[in-house]
Each structure stands twice: as C-alpha cells, then as structure tokens.
Amino acid sequence: MTTFHATLEGQSIARPPCFTGSNYTNWKVRMQIFLQSLDFDLWDIVENGYTKPITATSTWKAEDKGKFNLNSKAMNALHCALDSNEFNRISTCETAKEIWDKLAVVHEVTSQVKKSKINMLTRDYEMFCVQPNESITDMYTRFTNIINSLKALGKAFSDAYLVRKILRSFSQNGP
C-alpha cells in the first residue's frame, strides 16, 4: 500500500498527501492545507473536535447532520492519507480529531527533543554561509530547508530578516 501511495502522490490535488510514518511534521502541514482546501470546516472539525449527538439519527437537526458529514469526510481524508501501518494505529478512532491527536502523540517530538532540534537548527541558521563552489540554487535550497524546519518547530523569522541573512551569507567565508 505504501508503494501505491508514494507512486501516485502529488499527481492530483484531490489526493491527500501520503503518510508512511516518517517526516510527520511535513505531512501534518500538508494535510492541514489539503483539508482546508476541500472545505475549511473540515479543518475546524479536526482541530476543535466533534461530538456525536446522543439522540436517534432520525431526530438530528440539519446542523447535526452537517457536522456528522464533515467529521466523516475529514476521517475519510485522513484514512486515505495513511499507509496500512499508520491506519492500524487509528482504526478504532471515532472522530477526525481523535485520529489527528493520536498521530500527534505517536509522531511529534517531546518538548526537550524539540528544544534540542531548535537549538541545532538555529546554530545552522546563524552559521549559514555560501559554500565554495555552491550554486545559488543549492545554497537557497539548503537555507530554505533550515528555515522550514525551524518554522515547523514553531520558530519563524520575518521575510526582511531572512533576506538580510541571505545577503550577509554571500560576504561570509565558508568553514
């Protein structure tokens, strides 16, 4: 199943990003945007949760049915995004939020590990300079990887600050 997903991923805006258990931070951002692109209320159901009414379905109001449908659509999108191993982790979840939260518990780093990663990436950012014989494209890709990793961990910089850093990196000598 993983091979099937990986082969077809990115070929359609209707196909959710595949999650195979690695690079959770990247997948999480992509999945959030995917759900929002389908319907912003899908993301609201994932983020804020859904409580199924305790009354018989025949007595549900239009709003109850609408929220039930949103939760079902969000769950379907999440199920379709997961390989079989990840699906097995969440198969008993009854709401999209429960799925999202379970994946976060399993795959997000602890606060101590997160701080260590931020410190390491911040050092990489501060020491960043153009390497000898490095193309501008390669340099920018390396820089963007550092910035995106920091942003995914909650540390962001203004565009003006990033531009100044890139410009300064041209005048610095490599290691």
pLDDT given for residue 2 in this prediction: 44
Closest CA to 46 of 23, 76, 18: 76
DSSP code at position 11: S
pTM: 0.65
pLDDT reading at 155 higher than 90? no
pLDDT tens for each residue of 20-79: 988 888 899 999 999 999 999 999 999 999 999 999 999 999 999 999 999 999 999 999
More confident residue, 150 or 3: 150
Q: Phi, psi (5° rounding) for residue 55?
A: -80, 165
pLDDT reading at 151 higher than 50? yes
